[in-house]
Every structure is written in C-alpha cells, then in structure tokens.
Homo-oligomer: A and B are copies of this chain.
Amino acid sequence: MLTQLTLDQLRILASIVDEGSFSAAGRRLGRVQSAISHAVRNLEEANGVTLFDRSSRRPELTAEGRVLVEQARRVLAQVDTYERMAGAMAAGLEPQLTIAIDPFVPTPAVIDLLAGLRQAFPDIAVTLYTEGIGAAERRIVSGSAIIGICALNPFAPVTVQAFRIGSIDMVPVAAKGHPLAGKAAPLEPEDLAEHVQLVLTDPLESTGPNFNVVSPTVWRFVDIGRRLDFLLGGFGWGFMPHYLVREHIAAGRLFKLALSDANVLLGAIDVSVIHDRSRTPGRAAQWLLTKMREPDWHETFAYSLPKSADAKL
C-alpha cells in the first residue's frame, strides 16, 4: 500500500454522512459495523483530523469533517467518471473522438450537434480542431481526426467518404470607405483588377490554386476572423460567408459587391461531413454521421444560416 488514504475510506465516509450512522452505512455497503468503524478510524489517523464527534447518539460531522466530506465527494465523482469512461470503452466505445472543422462552418449547428453527442455519450473525450482552410480534410486523410466538417476538395483521395450536409452562401464584400463599395453596376474583372482581394488560404498550400480568386493582387489569410478585421478596415475586398457578415452589411459597415457573372465562380460552398472509409468509425462517430445525415439536422444547419432569399438581397 502506497498511501494511508484509500478510496474505500472515502466511500465509507460519504455513505455515513448520507445514511446518518456507521451501522446504517455498513448495511448499505454490505459490511459489518466494525469494519466501518475501523475504516473511519484509519481515515482519521491517516491525516490526523477527527471527522466525527461521537459524543452524542448519532455521529456528527466536525467542522473539519464537513469540509472534507465535500472534497471526498469530489474525489469519488472523478473516480466515478473514470469507471464510466472505462466501462464505455470496454463496451466498444472509442476512447476519443476527434473532429476537424473548417473555419467557415457556422458554430451554432456544431454546438447543437455536440450537445446531442454529449447527451448520448456523456463521458467520451472530444477534441475539436478548427484550423486553416483545408486542414480538416488533411486531418482525415492523415488519420489525426475521425470526422471532418468541411468543404470537399474535388481532388480528395478516394478513401475519403463524403456526404453533403448543406451549403454556405458566399458574398463578395468591401468596407464602407472602399472604392468598390459605391459602384452599383455589375463589376467586371477589370474593375476588380486594381484592388486587393483578401483570400482565405490553406496554410500549408499557400502557393496552390484557390477558388474564387479574381483579383491579380491577393492577400492571403489563414484566420477568417483576422481577414474580416482587414475587410472592415478597408484593406481590400473578398468573399465572406454571408452569415458572418450579415450584421455588418445591415449596419452599413460592409457593402455587398455586385459582380458580373464572369467573376462569380462560387456563389456558395458545399459543406460535407467526411471520414476515412478505410478506418471504421467507432460508435460515437457513427452516431454523429447518422445524425448529420438526417434531413432534420440539415434543417438545423440551414437554420443557423441566413435564409437564401436574404442572401440574394
């Protein structure tokens, strides 16, 4: 035995407080009273703290005891979690679920999804990656994440199984003071050429091709929030998910640009849930995949975005 203190002692302590007496605790735990008495004595001697005042009929917690029982319960709660986690794993639940999400995927739908997961699998450890664009898919391919929610790269390996769950409207915007913001007529490529386009880019493949790149002069951003700051600051124009700039457009801080059809390569980004076909998803991953394939959840996802009629405006 490494230490004096044992879990059994703490469990017994908690039971005594719950039941009101040593004997009753013994009955509940299936031990004789003397065993309880002995355990309490050991616990008290382990730390040199008297836990119960036995002078009256029923044992009463001392001031020290009152505080330590609470701490004992915290210990037991953590132990309980350990055992539930271990039990779930023994029953075949994957120990850890890693999810990678592209930065433009709206948060509310994901939160809703994970709240459901937490209810179905309370003790599973979840890791959520949100990195630069393209990173989610790369994590699926490399195996460092099980489930990805991202834009599907048309050149993705065949082992990547994808299922479309919705789409995000993209709008070209510029800040209030920006020269492009005023022009009402459809903007032609030559109008855009003289202005800097702010582009969201894959941090690892910054030299590669990007979609929706129109201007010859491009600033590349890995962080979509930072890019929004630059857009608001009037540093250039760029495509943004409509749900992220909706408020800014309504407030007049950003203006939607009316591009001519020649410029609009992508009016919306398709969002898919992806996983690696070659590795079997665990029970929790399976649950997530099933959930995201339900039409109901597609509505939830769409609801977290502005209505499409709104986006056209």
Which residues on the B side are within 8 Å of A192 (C-beta)?
none
Q: Are A90 and B1 in contact (CB under 8 A)?
A: no
Which residues on the B side are within 8 Å of A53 (C-beta)?
none
Which residues on the B side are within 8 Å of A12 (C-beta)?
2
Given A8-B2, A11-B3, A63-B96, A82-B75 contact (CB < 8 Å): yes
Given A8-B3, A11-B3, A67-B96 contact (CB < 8 Å): yes
Within 8 Å by CB of A90, from B10, B11, B49, lies B49
Q: Are A29 and B2 in contact (CB under 8 A)?
A: yes
Q: Are A90 and B3 in contact (CB under 8 A)?
A: no
Interface SS, A side? helix
A293 interface residue per 8 A CB criterion: no
Which residues on the B side are within 8 Å of A63 (C-beta)?
94-96
With both beta carbons as reference points, the residue of chain B lying nearest to A30 in the complex is identified as B2
Q: Are B49 and A89 in contact (CB under 8 A)?
A: yes
Given A29-B2, A86-B49, A74-B67 contact (CB < 8 Å): no
A81 interface residue per 8 A CB criterion: yes
Give the copy number. 2
Q: Are A72 and B64 in contact (CB under 8 A)?
A: no
Task: Report the Cα distance A83→B48, complex, angstroms.
Answer: 10
A87 interface residue per 8 A CB criterion: yes
Interface band, chain A: 35 or more
With both beta carbons as reference points, the residue of chain B lying nearest to A125 in the complex is identified as B67
- A-B interface, 3 closest residue pairs, ranked by CB to CB distance from nearest: A47-B86, A48-B90, A67-B95
A residues near B, CB below 8 A? 1-3, 5-8, 10-12, 29, 31, 46-49, 63-64, 66-68, 70-72, 74-75, 78-79, 81-83, 85-87, 89-90, 94-96, 125
Q: Are A89 and B64 in contact (CB under 8 A)?
A: yes
20 contacts between A and B (CB under 8 A): A2-B7, A2-B31, A5-B82, A6-B6, A7-B7, A10-B82, A47-B83, A48-B86, A48-B87, A49-B89, A63-B95, A64-B95, A67-B95, A68-B85, A71-B78, A71-B81, A71-B82, A71-B85, A74-B78, A78-B78
Determine how close the nearest CB of chain B comes to the CB of A22; give it in whole angstroms.
15
With both beta carbons as reference points, the residue of chain B lying nearest to A71 in the complex is identified as B82
Which residues on the B side are within 8 Å of A82 (C-beta)?
5, 10, 68, 71-72, 74-75
With both beta carbons as reference points, the residue of chain B lying nearest to A74 in the complex is identified as B78
Determine how close the nearest CB of chain B comes to the CB of A183; give it in whole angstroms.
41
With both beta carbons as reference points, the residue of chain B lying nearest to A4 in the complex is identified as B83
Most buried by B among A6, A47, A96: A47
Determine how close the nearest CB of chain B comes to the CB of A108; give it in whole angstroms.
28
Task: Report the Cα distance A62→B217, complex, angstroms.
Answer: 49
Which residues on the B side are within 8 Å of A48 (C-beta)?
86-87, 90
